[in-house]
């Protein structure tokens, strides 16, 4: 089963959440966390703010089971990433997906 998920959680069986895949993507998580800490934000908010910076033709559609996560995600639109932030994010290794 996947990392720390309940057995009935579909992510427990998804290849994207294997221990190997989670370890391979840790540098991305660490980098987003570093940027987030500078802004008092979450890594998810940083990721969403980055997507919003890609242009009006790109619209993030984050999922959320809980109202608090939806509110937190929506606040990403208030986060202004600096040139330093964007450069740091650009230097992160590409995230690996289960299709790699």
Question: For the whole model, what pTM was predicted?
Answer: 0.81
Alpha-carbon span 30 to 82, nearest angstrom:
18
At 18-37, the pLDDT tens digits run 888 888 899 999 999 999 99
Largest Cα–Cα separation, the chain: 42
At residue 100, the pLDDT reads: 52
DSSP at 76:
G
At 55-97, the pLDDT tens digits run 989 888 888 888 999 999 999 999 999 999 999 999 999 988 7
């Amino acid at each position: 089963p996947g990392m720390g998920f309940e057995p009935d959680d579909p992510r427990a069986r998804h290849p994207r959440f294997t221990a190997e895949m989670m370890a391979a993507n840790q540098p991305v998580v660490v980098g987003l966390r570093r940027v987030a800490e500078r802004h008092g934000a979450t890594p998810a908010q940083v990721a969403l703010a980055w997507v919003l910076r890609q242009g009006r033709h790109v619209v993030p559609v984050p999922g959320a089971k809980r109202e608090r996560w939806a509110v937190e995600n929506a606040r990403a639109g208030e986060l202004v990433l600096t040139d330093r932030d964007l450069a740091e994010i650009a230097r992160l290794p590409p995230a690996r997906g289960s299709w790699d």
